[in-house]
Chain A
Amino acid sequence: MKLLEYQAKHRFAAAGISVPPGRLARTPEEAAAAARELGRVAVKAQVPIGGRGKAGGIAVVDTPEEAQREAARILAMDIRGYPVRSVWCETGLSIDAELYLGITLDRDRRRLVIIFSAAGGMEIEQVAVEAPERIAKLWPDPFAGPQPYEIRQLAFAGLAHASELRDRGPKLVSTLVGLTTRLYAVATSLDALTCEINPLVLTPDGMLVAADGKLEIDENAEYRHRDIAEELARDETGEDGRSGEDPFEVEARKRGLTYVHLDGDIGCIGNGAGLTMNTLDLVKQHGGEPANFLDIGGGANAERVRDALEMVLLDPKVRGVFINIFGGITRGDEVARGIIAARDQLHITKPLVVRMTGTMEEEGRRLLEAAGIVPAKTATEAAATIVALTREGSS
């Protein structure tokens, strides 16, 4: 779940992190009203994706009339598939320096990492490539959290190559200790996979202000953050509101299915991510093109299998479906019942090739055979069969 800038900033502010005063506007008139109230403002497109400045989604305006005009322009935009549904009108800052502070998951260390750099304002990945010495990292103890001395080490390390900030050092470091502690609290309390301030603006009076905010929340933890999920759904401003997003993937998410839409014409359903990926690889190896990735996951019941098959067949390009099941926690009989129910209820006439083995495979195969669906012996054979059957249909 990706939050928009203003939603992230609301949460930063609630945690005691300084953010510029701002107002959300969904219409040009609301933007004009915000400018009347706040004076000179930046009008910023609210889309859950970076690079909006370059795309023309940010304008600095001096008057309400200008705010109205620019907001009208930005609200009509579509930034890389995301329609702009609102703008955040925010007071401009006096900028002495742009820094970076972010928290994300470090897969190799299997911990959160806090990243600080004096080279803010650009993508941190780019800084990492161009000036790795300007990036400092801290992997806090997951139980104790970052301690002040560790954050000081992080801050001094990140400022070591920023000669322009030398005389700001001691005060800046002590401000960073409080800020980093608060940002870490936001990240952990919200189950954030990414929690980032870029740029983090240093003002002439020594304040550190979050000029932007990025928050991505772990979907596995959604049950702890229903309020955010509901806010995103209600606003249609989050990822789900992306017009450019594949409609099949949107539909699959509504159905709670792990589905990725691809360009081909062979529907692919498997259980387990690795096996499903391998199912796609096999189809390709036999000269076919997968239409999708659909992992029914572990322990799927008949109903879920039926849903999965229905989902795959929503794509009119699909000429046939390859179902590849190796039962562990998933039971062959449940899968077979789901396939049969789907075929009968949805009147499926396109070729279905089922490869099934593992837990309860005899029962599953028996049910399939009794229903007139002949299971393939191996995944390789099944891949060859579905490719041949769908080609036949196309000739």
Chain B
Amino acid sequence: MSVLIDSNSRVLIQGITGREGSFHTGQMRAFGTNIVAGVSPGKGGTDQDGVPIYDTVADAVAATGADVSGIFVPPAFAADAIMESAAAGIELTVCITELIPVHDMIRAREFVIRSGHQLLGANCPGIVTPDQCKVGIIPNHINTPGPVGIVGRSGTLTYEVIQGLGQAGMGQTTSVGIGGDPVMGLSFPDVLRRFADDPETRAVVLIGEIGGSDEENAATWIRDTGFDKPVVAFISGRTAPPGKRMGHAGAIISGNTGSAQSKIDALLAAGAEIADTIEDVVRLTAVSLGKHSG
């Protein structure tokens, strides 16, 4: 089992002919993702290494039955690409592009919600269900199937956790990167809810960072719903000074909100285990899997 994507997912890539789009399409195909189409306006009718290219997402969906899209277009065009994807009926749109203007994302997110579909990102590393499907830029070789669900804001830290767990013999049902922007699609609770419904996910690792209150909201959700799978949480930016934006548009401690301590306190109160290092994540996850199965 898995959440959001599996071996039946039919994936199209918006921006397939760009530098990142073409490179990572190759990586995704090497992973085994069923890439059925690419979209690049003006290049319809051509192909990229055998993947047929269409001018519009609607054309690609009509011809191939694609139901998941990965977006690699430049930031100025990304919100439009997200809306085009949702309007064409794509069930899950995964937007990798970073540096998208906030006002664009507010509208694009709203558009996808109204279409009844799902948006992951933007500014996210994507999603991977090991041995089945990968959409995005998470490195191929670190993923192994297993009982752990991973959800993280930071891309590269999510890779660290996937690799750390994998090296210790703990694979994943699905790893989901929700992205580091202040306005994004699926949030921690949206992903946790899916892990709750997935019987094969036996423990969850949540990777948060300073800024905003998404981790606190996740903690509230865990308490309110009685989420009963073990949660190991890791928060980066403990040593970050307030008022300084640490890379991610969303990673800034402002006033009383957004500090690592506030997130750690909220997650602890919700019953999560707090890891201080990646090695700790691995150790605590191993323990919680043992507990849970025993």
Is A275 a contact of B157 with CB atoms below 8 Å? yes
A285 close to B (CB within 8 Å)? yes
Contacts of B217 in A (CB 8 A): 108
Task: Select which of B24, B103, B236, B255 is within 8 A of A191 by beta carbon.
Answer: B103
Is A380 a contact of B154 with CB atoms below 8 Å? no
Is A274 a contact of B238 with CB atoms below 8 Å? no
Is B160 a contact of A277 with CB atoms below 8 Å? no
A262 to B244, CA, bound (A): 10
A247 close to B (CB within 8 Å)? no
B147 close to A (CB within 8 Å)? no
Contacts of B101 in A (CB 8 A): 191, 218, 220-221, 224
B139 close to A (CB within 8 Å)? yes
B251 close to A (CB within 8 Å)? yes
Counting contact residues on chain A (CB < 8 A from B), the size range is 35 or more
Closest to A290 in B: B239
Scoring B19, B153, B155, B212 by chain A CB atoms within 10 A of each residue's CB, the highest score goes to B155
A156 close to B (CB within 8 Å)? no
User: What's the nearest-Cβ distance from chain B to residue A288, in Å?
Assistant: 11
Contacts of A223 in B (CB 8 A): 76
Report B101-142 residues with CB < 8 Å from chain A CB: 101-104, 106-107, 109-111, 125, 136-139, 142
Contact flags (1/0) for A310-333 with B, using CB distance below 8 Å?
000000000000000011110000
Task: Select which of B19, B111, B184, B240 is within 8 A of A277 by beta carbon.
Answer: B240
Contacts of A221 in B (CB 8 A): 101-104
User: What's the nearest-Cβ distance from chain A to residue B289, in Å?
Assistant: 22
Contacts of B153 in A (CB 8 A): 274
A53 close to B (CB within 8 Å)? no
A281 to B125, CA, bound (A): 22
Tally of contact residues, B, Cβ under 8 A: 64
Is B244 a contact of A278 with CB atoms below 8 Å? no
Stretch of B43-51, B60-68, B196-204, B272-280 that contacts chain A: B272-280
A272 to B247, CA, bound (A): 7
Contact flags (1/0) for A126-148 with B, using CB distance below 8 Å?
00000000000000011100000
Is B154 a contact of A274 with CB atoms below 8 Å? yes
Contacts of A299 in B (CB 8 A): 19-20
A21 close to B (CB within 8 Å)? no
Is B102 a contact of A262 with CB atoms below 8 Å? no
A357 close to B (CB within 8 Å)? yes
Contact flags (1/0) for B237-251 with A, using CB distance below 8 Å?
111110011111111
Report B246-277 residues with CB < 8 Å from chain A CB: 246-251, 255, 276-277
Contact flags (1/0) for B184-196 with A, using CB distance below 8 Å?
1000000000000
Is A328 a contact of B241 with CB atoms below 8 Å? no
A143 to B61, CA, bound (A): 26
Task: Select which of A191, A258, A328 is within 8 A of B137 by beta carbon.
Answer: A328
Is B237 a contact of A281 with CB atoms below 8 Å? yes
A107 close to B (CB within 8 Å)? yes
User: What's the nearest-Cβ distance from chain A to residue B99, in Å?
Assistant: 5
A182 close to B (CB within 8 Å)? no
A163 to B160, CA, bound (A): 58
A223 to B214, CA, bound (A): 29
Closest to A129 in B: B256
Report B83-101 residues with CB < 8 Å from chain A CB: 96, 98-101
A224 to B79, CA, bound (A): 14
Report A257-273 residues with CB < 8 Å from chain B CB: 258, 260, 262, 270-273
Report B38-61 residues with CB < 8 Å from chain A CB: none
User: What's the nearest-Cβ distance from chain B to residue A80, in Å?
Assistant: 12
A160 close to B (CB within 8 Å)? no
Q: Known interface pairs A277-B240, A357-B163. Does A329 touch B137 (Cβ–Cβ under 8 Å)?
A: yes
Contact flags (1/0) for A326-343 with B, using CB distance below 8 Å?
111100000000000000
Q: Known interface pairs A328-B159, A357-B163. Does A277 touch B76 (Cβ–Cβ under 8 Å)?
A: no
Q: Known interface pairs A272-B157, A274-B207, A329-B96. Does A107 touch B238 (Cβ–Cβ under 8 Å)?
A: no
Is A358 a contact of B255 with CB atoms below 8 Å? no
B210 close to A (CB within 8 Å)? yes
A115 to B107, CA, bound (A): 20
A273 to B127, CA, bound (A): 18
Is B255 a contact of A125 with CB atoms below 8 Å? yes
B7 close to A (CB within 8 Å)? no
- B residues with CB within 8 A of A: 19-20, 24, 27, 75-76, 96, 98-104, 106-107, 109-111, 125, 136-139, 142, 152-160, 163, 180, 182-184, 207, 209-210, 212-213, 217, 236-241, 244-251, 255, 276-279
- A residues with CB within 8 A of B: 105, 107-108, 110-112, 125, 141-143, 188, 191, 193, 218, 220-221, 223-224, 258, 260, 262, 270-278, 280-282, 284-285, 290, 293, 295, 297-299, 326-329, 357-359, 379-380
23 contacts between A and B (CB under 8 A): A108-B212, A108-B213, A110-B183, A110-B184, A111-B110, A142-B106, A143-B111, A258-B247, A274-B158, A275-B157, A277-B246, A278-B236, A280-B239, A281-B237, A284-B239, A290-B239, A293-B247, A297-B98, A297-B247, A326-B160, A357-B139, A358-B159, A359-B139
The 4 closest A-B pairs by CB, nearest first: A274-B154, A273-B247, A272-B156, A275-B156
Given A293-B244, A326-B156, 20 other A-B contacts at CB below 8 A?
A108-B213, A143-B111, A193-B102, A220-B75, A260-B241, A262-B241, A272-B156, A274-B154, A274-B157, A274-B180, A274-B248, A274-B251, A277-B237, A285-B276, A293-B246, A299-B19, A328-B155, A329-B24, A358-B156, A380-B278
